[in-house]
Amino acid sequence: MYEEVDDGEEIMVEEKGLAYQPAVFEESLPQKCERNATYEMILPRKCEDDEDALSAVIGHKAQKDELLLVMNWFRRSKEFKSRGVSIPKGVILFGDPGNGKSLLIRELVRCCDATVFIFRGDGSNVVEGIVETFDKAKEVGHAVIVIDELDLLINRERRVVRALQECLDGVESNDDVLVISATNNIADIPNPLLRPGRLDKIIDIPDPTGEEALELLKKHLREFGETMADEMDDDEVALSLSGISCAGVKSVVNDLVLRHGFDGITEEMLDESIYSATDRVKRPERKGNLEVAVHEAGHAVMANSFPEFFQVNRLSIAGASGRFHAKEVEEGFWPYEKVIADIKVSMAGLIAQKLLFGRGSRGCDRDLQLARSQAYNLFDVVGYSSCWETLPPADRSETREETQTKRRRMERKIERLLRRCERQTFRYIKRHKEQILSLGRLLYEKKRLKSSEILSCIEDDFRAHNPKNNAVLHVKTALIADN
């Protein structure tokens, strides 16, 4: 078994050739231990009455509530099992890197009133280490096993999948063991591991919203003894931070401090660090990148025509490359009109560039490929063609047989849709080419623009060329503000 340890003291214990290390909760996750250890053990600790579990994690309220619910079920596992109720054996968090999966797990471990085993997977025999970790957890009873970056373990040795399946299936109702794992891509985890009775509680950890990113930014600034200037607009900053991961927000704050020290954060300093974090690859300035600026302005003006779907938040250029960023007003909402809007926004950059300069440029192919992919998915996946053409096969082991005639018929429909979108986009760009040129020149001059600067430029140019239609612009601006 293991020996009792005083606070702050660490004792390595050898049992059947396996080394593990009791760790203290104040350090959250365990500290470095011997190289031959396959897991580290953390002794149980209850949260204090005034301690808010998962309070260190900003945002992700629904995900935190679900995790705490699972932990509450696990805490009452004996009560549930005495009544014949099964609780989840495993939880898997998935989402893009840097969105707080490991932090969520670490905070759960901090306030977990059960023995926790952190599987390291550093040994030469990962499969044997997994089996030994599960055996030790069953022996201790009422224990949690943490496996971070599960996808890396699986890719490293395919036998890991079978070992995990057997270990999870081998957990009896009286063993009282819960597995918490994380992965960057849920598609890398084989379906057999995700079925009920194994890692059956799947929780998506999404990108933070702009408001959550703003709250996280303020939290990191407070840690450095800094605050945002009073004149800075919270809504503007939140929109600028939209689409940046939790780790990205931390890098913004680090960049701020490294560049400007601790003397006070201005709006210009923050904008500079946001673009430094989002536009990582900087190319030397070249003459003629006004075309790139107009290309990005075309995307922005087209997206701005769909305020029900997009909020343009950033534009930037660096040499021969540019970036257009827009926040989706309602993420995950994909009606037919939204897909059409996506196609037009994808086309708008190249069309604006060709209309104003008579040519495209290298890199436009990615926009066209994206437009074609969106149109293809509209027919082949969403089902805006005949449903018999788009139904998936009944058995996944089978492949859908498609004749050349059927495939060509669908391709013709896609071509007609793309040509219709191209004509409509061309007409819109032609009507608003002065706005696009003005925005492109401003972007060329400043190299990066935030939402308020983009909208101000478009509004000023609209007023200059449409003095009788200012009411239309006010209505449109109000729609964007409401969203």
Q: What span, in angstroms and rounded, lies between the C-alpha atoms of 293 and 352? A: 10
Domain 290-392+403-482 -> CATH class = mainly alpha
Residue at 432: amino acid letter: H
Give ranges for CATH 1.10.8.60 in the chain: 210-278
Cα–Cα dist 343/292, whole Å: 19
Beta strands in 200-296, from DSSP E residues, in sequence order:
201-204
Q: Rounded to an integer, what distance in angstroms lies between the CA atom of residue 445 and that of residue 438?
A: 11
- Tens digits of residue pLDDT in 383-431: 665 555 554 444 444 445 556 777 788 888 889 999 999 999 999 999 9
User: Is the pLDDT reported for residue 205 higher than 70?
Assistant: yes
For 210-278, CATH gives 1.10.8.60
**290/384: higher pLDDT:** 290
The residue assigned the tokens 């224990």 is 143
Q: Indicate the pTM of the whole model.
A: 0.65
DSSP assignment of 397-408 equals: TS-----HHHHH
In CATH, the architecture of 13-204 is: 3-Layer(aba) Sandwich (3.40)
Neighbours of 19 (CB within 10 A): 17
> Residues of 135-171 as b/e, b for ≥16 C-beta within 10 angstroms?
ebbbebebbbbbbbbbbebbeeeeebbebbbebbeeb
Q: Where do you find CATH 3.40.50.300 in the chain? A: 13-204
Distance of CA 132 to the CA centre of its chain: 34
Cα distances (angstroms) measured from residue 118 to each of 66, 73, 387, 413:
21, 21, 48, 54
**Percent with pLDDT over 90 in the chain:** 18
Q: What is the pLDDT of residues 293-338, one digit of tens each?
A: 999 999 999 999 999 999 888 888 876 778 888 888 877 667 788 8
